[in-house]
Amino acid sequence: MSDEPLVEHLFRHQFGKMVSVLTRIFGLSNLEMIEDAVQDTFVNALTKWRIQAPDDPEAWLMQAAKNRMVDLFRKTKAENKHTEQLYYSPGAHHLNELFLDHEIEDAQLRMIFVACHPALKPEEQIAFALRSIAGFNIKEIAVGLLLPEETVKKRLQRARKKVVDQGIEFAVPSGADLLPRFNRVMDVIYLIFNEGFQSTHQAQIIKKDLCGEALRLCQLLLKRDEMRSSKLYALFALLCFHSSRLDTKISQEGELIDLEHQDRTQWFWPLIKLGNEAMNKAMESDELSTYHFEAAIAGEHIKARTFAETDWNQIAHWYACLLEWHDHDIYRLNLAYVHIQQGNFANAERLLLQIPPKNLADRQYLLFGTWAELHKAKGDRQKANASLKEAIEAVTNDVERRYLEGKLRG
């Protein structure tokens, strides 16, 4: 028996791999059957391994999936010409070859592009990607996205139905279709990351896993020559910079710690280094994206050894660029915060007044919180408290509510 610790997230990652490979063989129309089959394989493995642990759990599972595939093939071949061709046609891949590492990665890449097909709504794309590529089950997705399980289930069903009804190909699109879809893939990765990073709640481990999955998907794309673009490197840099701070955002008691009070010595340097390398690559061409500016801002925070040493002028500059590039109220809100740090209260107020609260949807509390910062910085404690109360009224999760309540008391 092996003394090695069980590979981290073995089952989850293996789920994504197996589902992708089997989908390549059996087609997207059999996705549900494939997911059930992989689930069965896991349950069997788990039962078997209680008695005798395998030397190489990953290889064991892959072998079990192959065997399972042959079973499925026997069951479905009568009705499914697709598999028959794959099995018998002389030009077809030998089935074993589809289980080689690079072919598995290829299958996973196809799955990401399927998930981001424009026929699927953005929220369906995220649920589909988390299920079929990242291997989260319905319960985990529900916890990760703060949604009822029933909602997740419906989204997945709708997504699967669209994939089948519209005959979406299990392939990376080519020609003119590639770029818009690739952009959407990056957006979905970004959104998955944000779900993990921005909102905080009790199920911290799942949240961290969302961030980890976003990083992993990004790396999967970066492995491919034809996918490596300036924008992708910038996105990767951004995710690395943010991830490096992940462990310092929440205290051991589960309380939120803001940037000012995070223990900067605990930021994770290997990720910062990776981020810096990616950022250098991102700057090699003239192509720019919002990710470039967001990464530059995240990088600027990382660079400051203390909160007081933060180069707010540089950050204000990046936010101004970002707003010019893509007018969005969240950027405007952040710029207002930067102006408060710089003491430019008039500018901050002007920006905040431009933001209609309803534009921020469930992030409205951030606007009220920033108003509170502004009033406090100007020495108006009464108005600051009134804004804080508005923020507490609007906030949706407990950790952030406690953080705001702490501010109200302190």
Partner 1 sequence: MKEFMMIFVGTPYEELGLSPEQMQARMGKWFAWSNKMESQGIAHRGEALHDAVKRISGPDRVVGDGPFVESKELVGGYYIVKAESVDDVVEIAQGFPDYDLGSSVEIREIMVFDQ
Residue 250, classed as helix, strand or coil, is: strand
Q: Binding to partner 1 by residue 11, rule CB under 8 A?
A: yes
Selected from 48, 161, 305, 381, the binder of partner 1 by CB under 8 A is: 48
What are the residues whose beta carbons fall under 8 Å from the beta carbon of 46, sequence distance 6 or more?
none
List the x/- string, 194-233, binding to partner 1 by CB under 8 A. Answer: -----------x---x------------------------
110 phi and psi angles, rounded to 5 deg:
-60, -40
What are the residues whose beta carbons fall under 8 Å from the beta carbon of 117, sequence distance 6 or more?
125, 162, 163, 166, 168, 181
Cβ proximity to partner 1, 137 vs 397, nearer residue: 137
Q: Binding to partner 1 by residue 15, rule CB under 8 A?
A: yes
Q: Which stretch binds partner 1 (CB under 8 A): 99-107, 136-144, 167-175, 307-315?
A: 136-144
Cβ proximity to partner 1, 10 vs 178, nearer residue: 10
- Cβ burial 323-341 (10 Å sphere, 16+ → b, else e): beeeeebebbbbbbbbbbb
Name the amino acid, one letter, at 395.
V
Nearest alpha-carbon partner for 330 in 239, 214, 194, 193: 194
| DSSP letters for 127-144 | HHHHHHTT---HHHHHHH
Shortest reach from residue 221's CB to partner 1, in Å: 23
Cβ proximity to partner 1, 5 vs 90, nearer residue: 5
Selected from 36, 53, 255, 280, the binder of partner 1 by CB under 8 A is: 53
Q: Binding to partner 1 by residue 33, rule CB under 8 A?
A: no
Any bridge partners for residue 250, and if so which?
Answer: 256
List the x/- string, 86-125, binding to partner 1 by CB under 8 A. Answer: ----------------------------------------
Q: Binding to partner 1 by residue 140, rule CB under 8 A?
A: yes
Q: How many Å apart are CA 238 and CA 310, to the nearest integer? A: 18
> Which positions touch partner 1 (CB under 8 A)?
1, 3, 5-6, 9-12, 15, 40, 42-43, 46-53, 57, 135-137, 139-140, 205, 209
